[in-house]
Amino acid sequence: MDSNSHLMEFKPLDTNTLHNETSKAIDFLAKYYNDVEKYPVRCQFEPGYLRELVPDSAPSLPEHVDKIIEDINTKVVPGLTHWQSPNFFAYFPASVSNAGLLGEILCSGLNVVGFSWISSPAATELEAIVMDWMAKLLNLPQEFLFSGGGGGVMHGSTSEAFVCTLAAARDRVLDKHGSEKITKLVVYASDQTHFSFQKAVKLVGIPPQNFRVIPTSSSQDFALSPLLLKTAIEGDIAQGLVPLYVCATVGTTPSNSVDPVHDLGFVARDYGVWLHVDAAYAGSACICPEYRHYLDGVDLVDSISMNLHKWLLTNLDCSCLWLKTPKTLVDSLSTKAELLKNKATDIGNVIDYKDWQIGIGRRFRALKLWIVISRYGSANLIAHIRSDIELAKYFESLIEQDTRFELVVPRKFALVCFRLTPTGVDASGNVMNQKLLEDINCSGEAFMTHAMLGGTFAIRCAIGGSLTEKNHIDKLWNLIQDKATKRVEAYLMH
């Protein structure tokens, strides 16, 4: 057969083979999830391993889907860090579910680009609907719902929410004081705020020297102090600077600390500062009535964001941002290109989500969230959160029963920060705990990460994997105890 015949037969979207090929992918994933516990959780290969296994040039002729899947299985999968392993306890979870996967398939399959209402009306309207659904599940104030003058949008990450809201706050202030004042704008965060916030601040043009990091302490569970914030703001005003934006966090990455939203809200209101709440991880827990109090005071904030792809079974990516006054965001980010003009937009009674985000093109994420909520219902989503927190409480109790260990900070959600206490050889215990963590991760049996909290090296155990059960917590604890015993013996011998 002439090699050109492959090109003549080429049909990139072939409904005759679509079912067969996608079924093979689903079969592969089903087997992967069944087998994922067998793999070392953290990739054990050295950098550059994959270049030794794949050709250095792209194939000119098509390969069969069976070969491609086999290559994935033998070359790619062994080099993954397996986020869906039930023994993955690092960072924060990236939860998955049947409904989330179904939503991803349909989102990708339909492949609509809903940058404006006219480009795909159902995509726009469904997003507005499910954002209101989630707002009601979280018991957010009416002002954050479309029916109350606010509204929500889905981004790919919290980083995008930071950039967009910072830009809106910046432009609102510059419209009032003049564009030359950009060098005078100041933003505020705690030393526990996610590092992506500082990156976002740079992207919107705030001078690095105008980024204020408010120190936290263990005595306040590493929460942002309203008094210290107020002092910092007043100090900047005295120097002729313009306070712009405060980032509060509900569930910080290092320790899961919760900033006092209510009290910070009054400080921000008194000085006309935009207050954003980053609830990327822990916000999902606030659908449970017993955890909703962590959002008390949200009526005083300008915006709030959370990542449902972390803990609420909505496969990556799905980051939700709500605003009280979306017009401020739209005024900052809107585009009026001739190519995009249409009657619906001109009338002004529709949402054009291109004006709510950094880019123009966007995925149909709303379909995925709609399927997750519809398939499971709020009752099962609440039960899922509570189940993970119960596992964290169980792990916490195991630590408290072993006098060699201690909790570094009180547990609030499903993150447990702990350490092996010093033996006298390493006064702070930091070196010993760092080596203990590496012993655990190098075993391939589990994967955790760490945080520095008030100068203390803390091991973070983030529970929330979709496949994690109580027996995996027991297995993790046995591994920790075994490695700790060997590590202490090594210190004493040294």
Q: Which whole number is the average pLDDT over 69-93?
A: 96
Q: Is the pLDDT of residue 6 over 60?
A: no
Question: H helices within 209-347, ranges in order?
Answer: 226-238, 261-271, 308-311, 326-333, 343-347
Q: Which residues contact 358 (CB under 8 A, 6 or more apart)?
A: 160, 163, 164, 333
Q: Which whole number is the average pLDDT over 80-98?
A: 96
Q: Which whole number is the average pLDDT over 353-364?
A: 93
Q: Could you report the per-residue pLDDT of 370-406, keeping only the tens digit for each?
A: 999 999 999 999 999 999 999 999 999 999 999 999 9
* HEC profile of 55-119: CCCCCCCCCCHHHHHHHHHHHHHHHCCCCCCCCECCCCCCCCCHHHHHHHHHHHHHCCCCCCCCC
**Which two structure tokens, joined as six digits, stand for 37?**
């516990």
Alpha-carbon distance of 162 to 166, in angstroms, equals: 6
Query: Could you tell me the pLDDT band of residue 76, with boundaries at 50, 70 and 90?
Result: very high
Domain 113-363 has CATH 3.40.640.10: yes
Query: Could you tell me the pLDDT band of residue 423, with boundaries at 50, 70 and 90?
Result: low
Q: Which whole number is the average pLDDT over 189-214?
A: 96
Say if CB 320 and CB 134 are below 8 A apart: yes
Whole-number average pLDDT of the chain: 94
Say if CB 300 and CB 269 are below 8 A apart: yes
Query: What integer pLDDT is reported at residue 416 of this predicted model?
Result: 98
Q: Is the pLDDT of residue 4 over 60?
A: no
Q: What number of other Cβ atoms are within 10 A of residue 64's Cβ?
A: 9
**Which two structure tokens, joined as six digits, stand for 21?**
């090929």
Q: Is the pLDDT of residue 5 over 70?
A: no
Q: Could you report the per-residue pLDDT of 155-182, keeping only the tens digit for each?
A: 999 999 999 999 999 999 999 888 888 9
Question: Could you state, in order of their start, the residue ranges of all structural domains in the chain?
Answer: 113-363, 374-493
Q: What number of other Cβ atoms are within 10 A of residue 111's Cβ?
A: 10
Say if CB 114 and CB 353 are below 8 A apart: yes
Hey, which residues does 322 pair with through a beta bridge? 152, 304
Query: Could you tell me the pLDDT band of residue 1, with boundaries at 50, 70 and 90?
Result: very low
* pTM for this predicted structure: 0.94
In the CATH scheme, what is the homologous superfamily, with its name and number, of domain 374-493?
Aspartate Aminotransferase, domain 1 (3.90.1150.10)
Q: Which whole number is the average pLDDT over 80-92?
A: 96
Name the percent of the chain lying above pLDDT 90: 85
Q: Could you report the per-residue pLDDT of 288-319, keeping only the tens digit for each?
A: 999 999 999 999 999 999 999 999 999 999 99
Q: If you ran DSSP here, which 8-state letter would residue 289 be given?
A: G
- What's at 201, amino acid-wise? V
Query: Could you tell me the pLDDT band of residue 488, with boundaries at 50, 70 and 90?
Result: confident
**Which two structure tokens, joined as six digits, stand for 157?**
């990450």
Q: Pick 490 or 221 by higher pLDDT.
A: 221
Q: Is the pLDDT of residue 244 over 50?
A: yes
**Which two structure tokens, joined as six digits, stand for 440?**
């655990």
Q: Could you report the per-residue pLDDT of 123-162, keeping only the tens digit for each?
A: 999 999 999 999 999 999 999 999 999 999 999 999 999 9
